[in-house]
Amino acid sequence: MGKGVAITGMGIISAIGNNVDENREALFAGKTGIGRVVKINTNHKNEIMVGEIAYTNSQLESLLQLPETNNYSRTALLGAVAAKEAVESARISDINEYKTGLISATSVGGMDMTEKYYYEYLEDKTVQKYIEAHHAGDSTQKIAEQLGLKNSLVTTISTACSSAANAIMLGARLIKSGKLDRVIVGGADCLSKFTINGFKSLMILSDTYNTPFDENRKGLNLGEAAAFLVLESDAVVKAENKNVLAYLKGYGNANDAFHQTASSENGDGATLAMQQALKVANLNAEAIDYVNAHGTATGNNDLSEGKAFLRVFNTMPPFSSTKPFTGHTLAAAGGIEAVFSVLALLHNVLYPNLNYKTPMTAFNLVPELELKEIPITNILSNSLGFGGNCSTLIFSKQA
């Protein structure tokens, strides 16, 4: 059994770009995708800011060459676009040649279509097809069909904002155990009125650009996105002479069971997840060159995650949150951060923590403020979910 879990392909669609290249260009240029609500008819459109993807559903359907009779939710559309880019970038000609799986994460599933036609379902038979697309697993199944997967392990993970990170983690474990040779992992979530209203009720949405780790942070900006990685075993990499983008070296998951939506005040879950990831990677905390923080810009998250950093690192490495670029993409967040982490490794860059002005009084931690080039070997990335489900991934240039 090989020791490495290689990343050989990746795909992404977010508010700052419709593919990997466009996302990289926006990150390097410091270009945010946050703005006012355009595509959703919500009562809160003038009260909040979000990260919307430019493509309409019709444009996404055209990209995927779907018939007009399709019942794809926006989540499924976004997921299929990103997953197909990941497979193409991995130069996979026969998706079923090896023991292959798909693990996709989502939180809202097909909610966007359910809420759109909710009052018409009983009277209009033409929209009843979207009832079947409501559940979380439907988007995963449609992604699998778009990829042409047959007789494969196909499953869905929904653990709130840590979902995609947990999907990536499960994929790595299946490869290490020898149960799979190759697995496409990541997540997708679209914006919906359900999501906006839910987070609005929690009073954690900002009416302006989000400001992670700033003393005067006002809350998060929701975003929609999809991102996937292709993970492959050492054996496949060797047999196919694959180009390896990076390695998934460590991973950890912990649940502090502190509150339904809030993180522990002292960052218990995040601390345990980071410590476990370092243990799996066989690395000391000092080996981490950059931390891609969860950094949602809520009062609770940034305080909790910051305290966890102080418990794990004797000397805090450079860190920043990329949520000001894309918004908080919920179940897709771990996939988005994974792609961003691999890009940081490939180009040896630290991303700027946009909109930051005032240091937090709770601790002396200041994020990166400008794009910076430094030698990077190991990146730690956090995804902290509701219910206390905390996940950490470590990406490396070395197996």
**Positions marked catalytic:** 161, 294, 328
Do residues 30 and 16 make contact, with C-beta atoms less than 8 angstroms apart? no
Q: Are 218 and 208 in contact (CB under 8 A)?
A: yes
Phi first, then psi, for residue 93 (nearest 5°) are: -90, -35
- Smallest Cα–Cα separation from 52: which of 64, 35, 76? 35
Neighbours of 88 (CB within 10 A): 12
Instruction: Tell me the one-letter amino acid at 214.
Output: D
Q: How far apart are CA 249 and CA 205, in angstroms?
A: 34
First to last CA, the chain: 13
Between CA 374 and CA 143 the distance in angstroms is 37
CB 351 within 8 A of CB 225: no
Nearest CA to 56 among 77, 29, 31?
77
Contact call for residues 221 and 205 (beta carbons, < 8 A): yes
The H or E element spanning position 102 is strand 100-105
Residue 152 and residue 141 in contact, taking contact as beta carbons nearer than 8 Å:
no
Question: What is the Cα–Cα distance from 9 to 229, expressed in whole angstroms?
Answer: 6
- Enter the DSSP assignment of 155: E
Q: Which of 71, 67, 64, 55 is nearest to 147 (CA)?
A: 64
**CA angle, corner 216, sides to 214 and 217, nearest 5?**
65
Neighbouring-strand partners of residue 189: 225
What is d(CA 43, CA 234) in angstroms, rounded to the nearest whole number?
51
Contact residues for 243 (Cβ-Cβ < 8 A; gap 6+): 8, 91
Residue 178 CA to residue 337 CA, distance in Å, equals 26
